Amino acid sequence: MPLISLVRHGQASFGAEDYDVLSALGREQAQAVGRELGRRGLRDPHLVTGTLNRQRDTARLLAETAGFKGTPQEDPRWNEYDHVAVLARYTAPDPEAQADSRAVQGLLDEALEKWITDPDADGSAGWAAFANGTAAALAELSAALGQGRDAVVVTSGGVLAALCGALLSLPAAGVVALNRVTVNAAVTTLVVGGSGTSLLTFNDHAHFTGDRRRLLTYR
């Protein structure tokens, strides 16, 4: 059965002028997860990435390190939601909190749950549009994989939370909890079977243990 390895991008540049750039640590994380995926012996992996710079660069470094061939296919449905817009809509402005990554995470937890449960947030700006887009991207990828071929997708934490929340039928609070703990460059594995696509593992980051623990980050 085909396996799909969903990889969260490496650490972005929090607090920098351009957030959508891998930090030096993020580049190391991308290479580390590449070594891990190369070790797993994936079968002719089909490479997919979102179109954000941090996703593209993670995919490139991952593929180079793993020795995967081919150019990753780009699909914007694997992109992260606009967390800045969500924070602006559902939380009060707090300049001091914006400078602290932990404080921002707390605000984002609050805003994300409000967004998911907001009955007035519809159209392209609504959670349903975002979650349905990720589900459609996964369904198309699952259908395209033949027997004996696996896939690697570089995406973001919100996409992982939306997909895994749907696969596990979680309420909004459960989706927020998944989003909160996603590790940079961790691997979530799905299996494509006759009854559909199922979750095997979530947020696997064993490649950041032991002497590589310094590479473990959540933001």
CATH number where 175 lies = 3.40.50.1240
Residue 197 in domain: yes
The confidence score (pLDDT) of residue 55 equals: 98
Residue 194 in domain: yes
Instruction: Please give the tally of structural domains in the chain.
Output: 1
CB proximity list for 76: less than 8 A, separation 6 or greater:
50, 51
Task: Average the pLDDT over 135-144 and give the result.
Answer: 96
Task: Inform me whether the pLDDT recorded for 158 exceeds 70.
Answer: yes
Angle of helix 172-181 versus helix 101-117 axis, rounded to 10: 150
- As a whole number of angstroms, the distance between CA 124 and CA 24 comes to 34
Residue 91 in domain: no
Element spanning 191, H or E: strand 187-193
- As a whole number of angstroms, the distance between CA 100 and CA 69 comes to 39
- As a whole number of angstroms, the distance between CA 129 and CA 115 comes to 12
In a 10 Å sphere around its CB, with 0-12 CB exposed, 13-18 middle and 19+ buried, how is residue 146 labelled?
A: exposed
Closest CA to 54 of 202, 189, 161, 154: 154
Expressed as residue numbers, the domain containing 51 is: 3-82+126-215
Is residue 198 within 8 A of residue 190, CB to CB? The reply is: yes
Residue 92 in domain: no
Mean per-residue pLDDT of the chain: 93
Residues 60-112: tens digit of each pLDDT:
999 999 999 989 999 999 999 998 899 999 987 665 555 566 777 889 999 99
Residue 133 in domain: yes
Question: What band does 44 get if pLDDT is binned at 50, 70 and 90?
Answer: very high
Name the more confident of 118 and 195.
Answer: 118
Task: Tell me phi and psi for residue 86, to 5 degrees.
Answer: -65, -45
Residue 63 in domain: yes
